[in-house]
Structure 1
Amino acid sequence: MKHQDGIVDLINLSDGKNSVRVHVLGRRGPVLPVHDLLDAVIIVESSFISGLLDICFYPSDLEEWSLALDALGAGQNVEWLDNGNGPVIGIKLPNEDCDVPAVLIADTSGSGTSATIPVVLDDGWIEEQREHLREVTQTWPSKVLKTSPGAYEWRH
């Protein structure tokens, strides 16, 4: 969903009580090679806690989010942005221990904080997340081409 201020939702998991969202704010800057780097914020809200965490990611991370959505559709738990130096977003599907999906936000390399938020999700929630992903990739298509290690040029 595109907001009036140009922010686009990449992730929007909400049940009216608890929510985890990732708002994409825009490109980092018009400089090679970081032009495709997208700034975003993770927003967590529940009756118990709320918080914001600034993040950034590359188009390759969006490809990994697409694969994570495929895995969720196949009934597998996922972790996204788990590259060892930043926050991780994990989604655990219902199982014998928990009857609703749970979203884990972990900022172990930054603040050292983590939170697990249960979110009751309606049927079709994975396809809704795919729609958000499509909107992000259409709004901010990749404009940088890596031609060799350490070498970049603008896409034509």
Structure 2
Amino acid sequence: MFACQVEVVVLTCEPLTMGEERYYAAEIVLKSDFVNGRVGLQVSLEDLDEWERCLDALEAEAGAEWPTGGRSAWLAVVPEDPVEVTVHDSPSTQIAVRMPIDVASDWLEENRLRLDRVQKAVATVS
């Protein structure tokens, strides 16, 4: 989650099984005084592992894109001041929305804790 007092980008997840593979219905939600939107996507266990690597890259002040593969909507995050998050709805509508977000100093730790909770919840469902 990326948030400041005015802008918010949130990802939520719920389990979904497709054949032998387990995916999680997720949603990216954008909220600001200017734009409000949401886009659905499906994430896998591998995508969750990839988000952990993205957090490592962001901590090293490198940009990150998640999830990769071009199968659904995705985020591009640039760790500048303010953090820049772009939500891409491709391959569906081809619309992208970029939001600058003044994150709290502990935003990476907060994201790691959220990821840990999601991974633990997924482990109990699997």
TM range (shorter): over 0.9
Amino acid corresponding to residue 13 of structure 1 in structure 2: F
TM-superposed CA distance for 1:131, in Å, is 0.3
- Write out aligned runs for 1:87-106 (5 A): 87-94=73-80, 99-106=81-88
Conservation of the 8 A alpha-carbon contact between 2:70 and 2:90:
no
| Matching residue of 2:58 | 72
In structure 1, runs of 5+ residues without a counterpart are 1-11, 144-156
Alignment partner of 1:122 is 2:104: yes
> Which structure 2 residue ranges, 5 or more long, are not aligned?
none
Conserved 8 A contact 2:40-2:73: no
Higher strand share: 2
| Residue 140 (structure 1) aligned with residue 126 (structure 2) | no
After superposition, the CA RMSD in angstroms is 1.3
Q: 2:113 aligns with which of 104, 111, 131?
A: 131
Larger radius of gyration between Structure 1 and Structure 2: 1
Of residues 27, 34, 42, the one that matches 2:15 is 27
Paired residue for 1:13, among 2, 5, 13? 2
Amino acid corresponding to residue 66 of structure 2 in structure 1? W
Partner of 1:108: 90
**Higher-helix-fraction structure:** 2
Identity level (%): 22
TM-score by length of 2: 0.93
CA distance in 2, matches of 1:108, 1:57: 15
Q: Deviations over 1:73-123 (max 9, x none)?
A: 1110111112122212011111xxxx3111010113101110001110111
Mapped contact 2:6–2:33 kept (Cα < 8 A) = yes
Counterpart Cα distance in 2 of 1:89 and 1:52: 12
Count, aligned residues: 125
Give the match for residue 62 of structure 1.
48
TM-score, with length taken from structure 1: 0.76
